[in-house]
Structure 1
């Protein structure tokens, strides 16, 4: 997220996932892996909570990488929803039987909190200067973010109430049902979805938000991830939104790459 040291713009978009971050044990190793794989360059980010960099592509910051604390907590990418009021969202999370783990805490780019929905899927909350949704044609950007959950309708009720999906400007924000998913659209583009975990999904994974980064060729990116020391969760496969490959980085954090359909 923004700091005086960066030149790339970070966008906080209300009610939808608009930022992703990874806390790695080896930050330099993570940069060496994701940089060549996704075409990222790196700029310094806010370091109030420790070393942190922005991943930049096409002049836009698209992700953050920081240093995880010690311990045996599994490393994972986190998706953040933008909001106009982090305190109101935190209250709504608690009122609906979910868990507010940390925050809201103030930092350079606003306020942030971490929560888990009623079935345990972890997500972030970010209150910052609001902007428009990012371009979806940026290589290396997180262009598709999907909740894998046992009941997408129950999940949609939870997130819809927490982030006030009803009543937002229909010219800029829309919730629809398509391709067996609850789909969120911002600025006329599908940006995220809530889907039932199906056969062929990541084996043994609890409910989670899966982050897919745009690549030109998912099969080629899969092979490149292996060359860089990552691992593959399964073969690449086709979806209504593009061809997807699910991967792990060098430290085991799961993510996906997608060759978006035109």
Structure 2
């Protein structure tokens, strides 16, 4: 369920989460069946896999040999929806969990101890799932660079409320020297690490929407060389196309997890 499926699977190239507090540090797919998920994303995104050192239900997805994401077949045992979930580094997972609860949100699972740190799975006040991680994180994994996702996006009910919540929980500030800067731009907010955009917060989601695509949630964008090839592979392997154009397509895997491929 946590960043341990990538952030804790090896000891090399690691830093402590305290040094990068507030940073997106990993993304994990909570799936129902690991082999089926591996086959689907291998065909759609060209991923290969290696063991995460956490048992048969975990693996690390690789692109050209570099770690991209973790997959854990835990959705059924945790009784949560199949989904892509971002994890954010925190200096102290207990303090972060307390801040989450104090601000009207929910800590759904944990904090749990793993061999290189501790994690918790939470839901923000509008119901969007995210994780927090205290411990070893990959120093070579940064959203927007290398093998990591292109960017993350929170689709939420109210941009200002969401920005305030995550800013208070994760330490994002309107202006900082280095670190993370959260800037409001017209109808959305942008989180930057120095000059690199790592996340966006957009309004318009509806908590009571019958379609889960319209509810508040975190969304992960993966870079691909050719969007049309990924779309074709997703449909062939039992997925579905939610929306698409020449440079971007939002897809649903066979278990219902949403993600976007982009060539931007």
TM, length-normalised to structure 1: 0.84
Mapped to 1, the partners of 2:141 and 2:193 lie a distance apart of 7
> Does 1:215 pair with 2:224?
yes
Structure 2: gaps spanning 5 or more residues: 1-5
- Counterpart-to-counterpart distance in 2, 1:35 and 1:152: 34
Pair 1:160-2:164 in alignment: no
1:170 partner SS: coil
Q: 1:10 to 1:144 in 2, by over 3 A?
A: farther
- Which structure has more helix as a fraction of its residues? 2
Counterpart contact for 2:184–2:190, Cα < 8 Å: yes
Shift in Å, 1:119 = 1.0
Three-state SS of the structure 1 residue aligned to 2:263 is strand
Residue in structure 1 matched with residue 48 of structure 2 by the alignment: 41
Check whether the contact 2:49–2:62 (CA below 8 A) recurs between aligned residues: yes
2-structure distance, mates of 1:47, 1:193: 32
TM-score by length of 2: 0.83
Superposed counterparts of 1:105-254, under 5 Å: 105-130=112-137, 131=139, 134=142, 136-138=144-146, 141-166=148-173, 169-178=176-185, 180-197=187-204, 203-204=211-212, 205-236=214-245, 243-254=247-258
Note if contact 1:218-1:244 (Cα within 8 Å) is conserved in structure 2: yes
Q: How far apart are 1:187 and its partner, in Å?
A: 4.0
Distance change >3 Å, CA 226–CA 3, structure 1 → 2: same
Partner of 1:63: 69
Unaligned runs of 5+ in 1: 238-242
User: Which SS does the other structure have where 2:150 is aligned?
Assistant: strand
SS of 1:224's partner is helix
Cα root mean square deviation, aligned: 2.9
Count how many residue pairs are aligned between Structure 1 and Structure 2. Answer: 251
CA deviation after TM superposition for structure 1 residue 63, in Å: 0.7
